[in-house]
Structure 1
Amino acid sequence: MSETLFEIRPDGTRRAITRDWVPEAPVALEFNGLSYAVMMASPADLDDFATGFALSEGLAASPSDISDIAAAEVENGWVVRAQLAGLGIDKLTERVRNRVAESSCGLCGIDNLAEVARPLPQVARHQAIEPAAIFAALAALRPLQELTRRTGAAHAAAWASPSGQIGLLREDVGRHNAMDKLIGAMARAGRPLSPGFVISTARCSYEIVEKAVRGGATTLVCVSLPTSLAVQRAKAAGLSLWALARDDSVLLVTAATP
């Protein structure tokens, strides 16, 4: 969706410009016929989104637990329906029973403070990523961010090989959604997030660390500084965390345990 606007400068001059708006719509996620969440998202790659969401929220242990994904545009947004199998069914039923409201965040389905501190799985032992690989991936990332280039209002999550080659990228208006789409796309393709590393162009918050760990990543690179809770959770899980990634520098926050 694009629109012609007037850009006004300090001297009062103006010029007509055309801007593309980043797509945003309510996306309802339904599992086994139960409405689980309504997320504000960019309605693309919704099969990946549903898969990654189920994996990162602990509703599914593997992509094989998720089947019959179908997305449909409805009057007020989109609905994505899927079937869950395995241990996630009990968790799904219990959380739906206690749901009140949702937002586009990584705390979907959490009913009390104790659940925020639930232990994360330990990441696999892994070798440290060389900074040169991070710089190479950052340089390759920008030309691939088509939605960001057109709109200036999207987040990206990408997987890079240990040498810094971008293997897959997903974008969304929501930072958590972009991560879910990446996790889902990699899982559906049968490609693990490690070896290699995940890059997030979003703020490095608790939720981004949680999703990276639960998605199977061992190393996360973010363009911003992490929050205190993000650092705490990364250390506890053994996640290698790099932050403030720029063209000429990157900050090592937590180191790998080889």
Structure 2
Amino acid sequence: MDCTELVEHSGYVARSIVRHKDSAPQQATDNVAEELPVALVYNGISHAVMMATPLDLEAFAVGFSLTEGIVTHNAQIHDVEVRVHRHSAEVHLRISAHAFAAMKERRRALAGRTGCGVCGIESLELLDLQPARMPAPAKRLVPSREVIERAVAALPSHQRLMRATGGVHAAAWCDAHGEILHVFEDVGRHNGLDKLIGHLAMQRVAMDDGFVLLSSRASYELVRKAARMNIQLLATISAPTSLAIRIAEQAGLHLLSFCRKDGYVDYTGAAPDAGGAAC
């Protein structure tokens, strides 16, 4: 480690800058989002190093463990210890013997970078592009413009780091009426989703009883993570990729993108059930 001292981080740092705009250059201070290497260590073995914002790292580690299939349930995580240093962080997890043995069998080198969730994967087979179809939820969420527009309009007020830096993504958990209940931010869009999922798992929130709103585009790994957790509806502010759409269709996940205050685009075309509950 670069420093033995444990420190607290705010999620951004102040930097002296020179702003060039309109008139003469001006000295100023700018807030910049923090990005640190975070090592995820399972039963003493370092399994992954992800670049992330050093906040909510326990939730991040739990969410990553679930969405990457390292554990199948939160109960398989027995202990989590977060160690945050000045320029790096470690999260030590103690997982069940069964989950640890399975992890060692398929262990691969992961070197996550901002905006990339599969860096370091050694072969195409490890990408897991054939998701099983999610079980039918007890109560289906059928999207409506009013619900999506309500969530989209409310999201900026929950984005503390975005207001400070202009450089992070947000992952929000919304109820069936579009009310935002939880929001997590990170320089990596997939990290933000992992933090949100980890928090929901630790709070034992039923993940088939609401939907996720992301401030980013819909890439394949975000859809795959959501499908693993049986999240039935994923809404994103920006565009989807073709693979994200295909994964969503295979898993039975409803994917909405280009979500704005005046509408959205439905990319999976899931038809509402007769008499289904409105989202």
TM-score interval (norm. to shorter): over 0.9
Task: Give the TM-score normalised by structure 1.
Answer: 0.92
Q: Does 1:163 align with 2:177?
A: yes
Contact 1:56 1:211 in 2 (8 A): yes
Q: 1:9 aligns with which of 21, 46, 71?
A: 21
Q: Distance in 1 between matches of 2:269 and 2:91?
A: 38
How far residue 116 of structure 1 moved from its aligned partner, in angstroms, is 2.1
* CA-based RMSD: 1.8
Shift of 1:108: 6.3
In 1, are the aligned partners of 2:141 and 2:232 still within 8 Å (CA)?
no
- Residue of 53, 58, 62 corresponding to 2:64: 53
TM-score by length of structure 2 reads: 0.86
Contact 1:28 1:38 in 2 (8 A): yes
Q: Distance in 1 between matches of 2:233 and 2:44?
A: 35
Q: Which amino acid aligns with 1:192?
A: A
* Count of aligned positions: 255
Identity %: 36
Q: Are residues 74 and 220 of structure 1, via their aligned partners in 2, closer, same or farther at CA, if it must alter by over 3 Å?
A: same
**Contact 1:60 1:87 survives alignment (8 Å):** no
Cα pair 1:26 1:77 within 8 Å, conserved: yes
Alignment check: 8 A CA contact 2:173 2:213 kept: yes
Distance 1:110 1:184 in 2: 23
Partner in structure 1 of residue 112 of structure 2: 103
Asked if 2 retains the 8 angstrom alpha-carbon contact of 1:137 and 1:165, the reply is: yes
1:153 aligned residue: 167
Q: Assess if the C-alpha contact under 8 Å between 1:127 and 1:256 holds in 2.
A: no
**Following TM superposition, by how much is the alpha carbon of 1:19 offset from its aligned partner in structure 2, in angstroms?**
1.1
Quick one: which amino acid aligns to residue 144 of structure 2? E
Relative to structure 1, the CA distance from residue 75 to residue 132 in structure 2 (aligned partners, 3 Å threshold; closer, same or farther) is: closer
Q: Residue 226 of structure 2 corresponds to which residue in structure 1?
A: 212
| Mapped partners of 2:122, 2:77: distance in 1 | 24
Unpaired runs of 5+ residues, structure 2, are 1-12, 274-279
Counterpart Cα distance in 2 of 1:225 and 1:90:
38
State how far apart, in whole Å, the 2-side matches of 1:78 and 1:175 are. Answer: 19
CA contact (8 A) 1:57 1:108 kept: no
Q: What is the CA–CA distance in structure 1 between the aligned matches of 2:27 and 2:153, rounded to whole Å?
A: 31
CA separation in 1, counterparts of 2:119 and 2:232?
23
Segment drifting more, 210-219 vs 121-130: 121-130
What are the superposed Cα offsets for residues 183-206 of structure 1, whole Å, 9 maximum, x if unpaired?
000100010222211011112110
Contact residue 29 and residue 35 of structure 1 kept, 8 A: yes
Q: Tell me the CA shift for residue 52 of structure 1.
A: 0.1
Q: Tell me which residue corresponds to 2:254.
A: 240
How big is the shift at 1:210?
A: 0.7
Deviates most, 111-120 or 241-250: 111-120
Q: CA deviation at 1:94?
A: 2.1
- The match for 1:77 is 88
